[in-house]
Amino acid sequence: MATLHHGHAWTATLALVACAALGCAPREEPAPAADAPAGWSATGWIDVTASLDPVTTPVYEGDAPMKFDFLKDMRRGDPLTLSVYSMGAHSGTHVDAPLHFIAGGAAVDSVPLDALMGAARVIQVADSVQSIDAAELARHGWQGARRILFRTRSSSGGWMSAPDFHRDFAYVAPDAARLLADSGVVLVGIDYISAEQFGASAPETHRALLGKGIPIVEGLDLREVKAGDYDLIVLPIKVRGHDGAPARALLRPR
């Protein structure tokens, strides 16, 4: 039976697996400094994955609830601990594949790894901004970046670790999505569980990006991240033929 490792050890493993793709040399990872921010490793990798927890993880209104349980539990005297998870494909930090809104689009297991790993730019959007439209995008230096991540009011409010669903999250407006899609961007990410405006009459933002084969990473935890350029690793669970999957996401300053 495979053993699932969490936290610092898993972060280090992901970093080593992705080194070849990012052009870095594998190296031993010393223990992190005692005063390092939460989520940081000694080599500078930052875990920007929201923890999945039915008590603290927000669920998009109308989506499947999260249910975690223990079939066996050594704390109850069982000889082993064995868990069961039930949740939607778009829970916590996750990747939207083209199939989510594009008929015949790529499923999450077919999203190219080249899009999910490489140089990324984090753009800080003011807490007062809800709609990241073309005018707002023009205020930031995003041109030339291949992967764009938006840090918004959701990070400032810690909304990815608060169970209540916030309808007023910052979103990528369709005109900005079209600009990004037409510019050669290969990935777009945001720090709440959707990049689309809540209650939008049509999923135009998703269609603009996914229609060009651009995966969307939603639900990032960017609280410990500042604007700037980073190395990015996003590895969704390899679920065959489905529209999305939870993912582990890491950033490292370039």
Catalytic residue list: 100
> Residue 100 has which token pair?
């989510």
Rg (CA), the chain: 18
Residue type, 8: H
Nearest CA to 215 among 241, 174, 185?
185
> Cβ(35)–Cβ(238) under 8 Å?
no
What is the end-to-end Cα distance of the chain in Å, rounded?
Answer: 38
| Cα 43 to Cα 39: distance, rounded to the nearest angstrom | 12
Beta bridge partners of 217: 95, 189
Side-chain-side CA neighbours of residue 79 (13 Å): 0
CA dihedral over 136, 141, 142, 147, signed as positive or negative: negative
DSSP secondary structure letter of residue 201: S
CA dihedral over 198, 158, 236, 205, signed as positive or negative: positive
